[in-house]
């Protein structure tokens, strides 16, 4: 008589080569929590993306969408397949003609729960701190990213970009006004990145789609930014062959070409980005139909005919049943200080659309 005993052996190791020899299933643990459980090859790939200074690594995971923050780089996965590449999501700061990437900062995770991640980073050679608050919404298909910048002392800050690099298997780009296919000229050796969209007025939502059944594993992806600052643009770019990536970015410029800095010292929100994912571009019609909501001028309403908007000319206007009832100069405040009169309409606005019924406006004189 032959007895067959089936046993499960738990093998704990950081050596991925040895685990490949002995195991077929993998479980990734972080701080006592199961982060990934599945086919060993997929778990190892996920694990490799988390390598680095542990103080700056955080993970969020839903049924389909997963994200890994690793010391200034935000990587996104859909059904265990990465759809970001190279530097993935990151910040680029242009100061006095020099670029500083978020991956060059020192990072520390301040909070990491199952749905929320808060990280803080500082540069040693730039007086700017960054605070990122990252969360997944209740559907598990939307990444909510709030980025605040703390400019601790005067510097020649010229530009800040929140940039996401996606797979070049995305063939089609879209914004609320129009869409089109990327130029895939493989013979091109251009060193510069191709700027695909440039709209007037600027839009606050852009997206990508694979447009191919062979790439059905790629989700459609949309990027929105609910903080409006004069000089901010959402851009879609096609990179050169060094990166071979599609780029969605929100960029704000703080001055003229000479580098004159008009950003005030202090802490303020600069990006509130939502990255929305969907299995296919069946939402395209809804995307186009909501064009007016996605233009940079921020509008809110109470549903009773009364609405308020703040446009990119720093004009705050009130409407009754779509008819403007304020003057051309709109709403404004004025105050007297040191013998001078100051008007809010002469300042730069930072506009954050919190919800359909609330916007926060900060006037920077």
Residues 162, 258, single domain; the answer is yes
Do 166 and 266 fall within a single domain? Answer: yes
pLDDT > 70 fraction of the chain, expressed in percent and rounded: 77
pLDDT at 264 over 50: yes
- Cα dihedral 139, 77, 166, 14 sign: positive
End-to-end CA distance of the chain: 90
Q: Which of 49, 64, 87 is the last residue of a domain?
A: 49
- Residue pair 345/358 in contact by the 8 Å Cβ criterion: no
Number of domains in the chain: 3
Q: Radius of gyration over alpha carbons of the chain, in Å?
A: 23
Cis peptide before 266 (omega within 30 of 0): no
Q: Are residues 44 and 75 in the same domain?
A: no
Mean pLDDT of 111-125: 91
Phi, psi at 31, each rounded to 5°: 55, 40
Looking at the structure, do residues 120 and 179 belong to the same domain, yes or no?
yes
Are 199 and 290 members of one domain? yes
**For residues 332 and 200, which has the higher predicted lDDT (pLDDT)?**
332
Q: Range of 2's domain? A: 1-49
State whether 224 and 340 are in the same domain: no
Please check whether residues 222 and 88 belong to one and the same domain.
Answer: yes
Range ranked top by mean pLDDT from 140-149, 230-239, 351-360: 140-149
Q: What's the mean pLDDT in 16-33?
A: 77
Residue 212 sits in a domain whose CATH number is 2.70.98.10
């Amino acid at each position: 008589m032959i007895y067959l005993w089936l046993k499960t052996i738990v093998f704990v190791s950081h050596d991925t080569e040895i685990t490949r020899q002995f195991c077929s299933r993998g479980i990734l643990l972080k701080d006592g929590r199961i982060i990934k459980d599945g086919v060993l090859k997929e778990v190892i790939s996920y694990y490799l993306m988390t390598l680095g200074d542990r103080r700056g690594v955080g993970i969020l995971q839903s049924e389909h969408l997963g994200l890994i923050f690793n010391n200034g780089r935000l990587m996104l996965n859909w059904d265990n397949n990465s759809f970001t590449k190279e530097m993935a999501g990151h910040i680029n700061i242009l100061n006095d003609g020099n670029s500083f990437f978020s991956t060059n900062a020192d990072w520390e995770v301040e909070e990491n729960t199952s749905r929320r991640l808060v990280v803080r980073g500082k540069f040693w050679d730039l007086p700017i701190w960054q605070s990122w608050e990252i969360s997944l919404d209740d559907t598990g298909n939307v990444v909510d990213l709030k980025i605040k910048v703390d400019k601790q002392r005067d510097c020649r800050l010229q530009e800040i970009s929140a940039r996401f690099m996606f797979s070049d298997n995305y063939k089609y780009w879209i914004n609320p006004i129009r869409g089109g296919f990327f130029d895939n000229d493989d013979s091109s050796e251009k060193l510069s990145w191709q700027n695909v969209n440039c709209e007037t007025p600027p839009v606050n939502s852009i997206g990508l789609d694979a447009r191919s059944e062979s790439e059905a594993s790629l989700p459609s992806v949309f990027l929105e930014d609910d903080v409006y600052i004069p000089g901010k643009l959402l851009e879609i770019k096609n990179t050169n062959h060094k990166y071979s990536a599609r780029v969605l970015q929100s960029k704000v410029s703080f001055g003229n070409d000479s580098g004159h800095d008009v950003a005030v010292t202090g802490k303020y929100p600069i990006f509130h980005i939502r990255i929305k994912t969907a299995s296919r571009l069946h939402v395209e019609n809804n995307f186009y139909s909501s064009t007016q909501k996605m233009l940079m001028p921020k509008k809110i309403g109470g549903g009773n005919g009364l609405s308020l908007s703040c446009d990119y000319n720093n004009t705050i206007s009130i409407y009754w049943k779509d008819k403007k009832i304020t003057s051309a100069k709109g709403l404004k405040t004025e105050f007297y200080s040191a013998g001078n009169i100051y008007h809010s309409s002469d300042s730069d606005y930072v506009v954050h659309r919190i919800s359909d019924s609330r916007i926060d406006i900060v006037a920077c004189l």
